[in-house]
Structure 1
Amino acid sequence: MIRDARPEDAEAITEIYNDAVRNTTAIWNEIEVDAENRRAWIAERQGAGYPLLVWEEDGRAVGYASFGPFRPHDGYHLSVEHSVYVHRDHRSGGKGAKMMEALIERAKEGGFHVMVGAIDAANSGSIRLHERLGFAHVGLMPQVGKKFGRWLDLALLTLLLDDRERP
């Protein structure tokens, strides 16, 4: 079941986030967080009017997805950047795709024009998922990040959410 996150999801979200920090290049950060940090993040994200969704199984969040500002300047206010993370033991069965679809709907309902995915270029599974959902490759930024002692390339993909000609 996909639903809006609640403060009590902070512990599960923390576990998912920290696992990604420790073991993946999905998050280009090496600093783990605690549940209080994630509770504050949930409140901040939702307080700003952005969705934070969780996939719930057996009463526990096993995945989460959100979007927020692409960049902080006014000219970008119709563009959002998203993220989706699923617990390592629950990554099969299409949960990421279903949460992405729900995020896309929320972005359309919110009147946004473009959704941006910024993905480790080596993450072929995530890139394929985005392609299946209609995202287009718009750029590659070589060696703009680092983690685990190596340079990381950033793939940029976008999805046009509507067909309006003018903002």
Structure 2
Amino acid sequence: MSGNLVIREAREADLPAILEIYNDAVRDTTAIFNEIIVDLDNRRAWMAERQGRGFPVLVAELDGRTVGYASYGDWRPHDGYRNTREHSIYVHQGCRGQGIGKVLLEALIGRARENRVHVLIGCIEAGNSTSIALHTRLGFRLVGTFREVGHKFGRWLDLACVELVLD
């Protein structure tokens, strides 16, 4: 990666870039199983809800441009799962493969430790070997694969689940 990469808390000014990155993932990838393009108000509400609950929303800024973001939130809604969080990471399509996802994930893991998260969960489209390998390199363990639980682009998708026990 060339340039100056900074990981920081997301701000209102980052929302157009977050929207662009998210909608690209919806439109062109299986990184998320959603199929509906969202608007700026949707991302604004998403960020306000996350930050309002004390969950981090981190952005990767490369030479002053927001090129990725990461966050975590509830894994399941029941009280007994309050120390487990599910995370997500998205990188601008023109910046993938440069190590930005790794830096974002490392920062998110650090934030999870600070916030006393016990387990961090990731759910990855099973064909995304790059993301699975990144998570494995950072200590996540592949715990299982759900077969054909998603459907997008006219085909069934498998979901690989990874976990990292933090304490």
Q: Normalising by structure 2, what TM-score?
A: 0.95
The correspondence for 1:5, drawn from 4, 10, 29, is: 10
Alignment of 1:93-112 (within 5 A): 93-112=98-117
Residue aligned with 2:144, SS: strand
- Show the counterpart of 1:165: none
Asked whether 1:34 is paired with 2:64, we answer no
User: Residue 93 of structure 1 aligns to a residue in which SS?
Assistant: coil
106-115 or 57-66, larger mean C-alpha shift: 57-66
Q: Give me the whole-angstrom Cα distance separating, in 2, the residues matched to 1:33 and 1:59.
A: 25
Shift of 1:57: 2.0
Using the alignment, how far apart are the partners of 1:94 and 1:117 within structure 2? 18
Offset at residue 60 of structure 1 (A):
2.3
Among the aligned pairs, what percent are the same residue?
62
> What does residue range 20-99 of structure 1 map to in structure 2 within 5 Å?
20-99=25-104
The residue identity in structure 1 corresponding to 2:53 is: A
CA deviation profile, 1:118-152 (whole Å, cap 9, x unmatched): 00001000000000001001111101111001111
Pair 1:152 & 2:160 matched: no
Cα shift at 1:35: 1.3
Q: Where has structure 1 moved over 4 Å in runs of 4 or more?
A: none
Q: Which moved more, 1:85-94 or 1:101-110?
A: 85-94
Equivalent residue of 1:134, what SS? coil
Structure 1 length as normaliser, TM-score? 0.95
Aligned counterparts of 2:10 and 2:59: Cα–Cα separation in 1: 6
* Whole-Å separation in 2 of the counterparts to 1:31 and 1:98: 28
SS at match of 1:50: coil
- What SS is found at the alignment partner of 1:103? helix
Task: Please say if residues 18 and 33 of structure 1, whose CA atoms lie closer than 8 Å, have aligned partners that are also in contact.
Answer: yes
The unaligned stretches of length 5 or more in structure 2 are: 1-5
Could you tell me which residue of structure 1 aligns to residue 3 of structure 2? none
Equivalent in 119, 124, 128 of residue 119 of structure 1? 124
Tell me the CA shift for residue 59 of structure 1: 2.5
The answer for the alignment partner of 2:23 in structure 1 is: 18
What count of residue pairs does the alignment treat as equivalent? 162
Deviation of 1:74 (Å): 0.4
Question: Residues 140 and 156 of structure 1 are in contact (CA less than 8 Å); yes or no, is this contact kept in structure 2?
Answer: yes
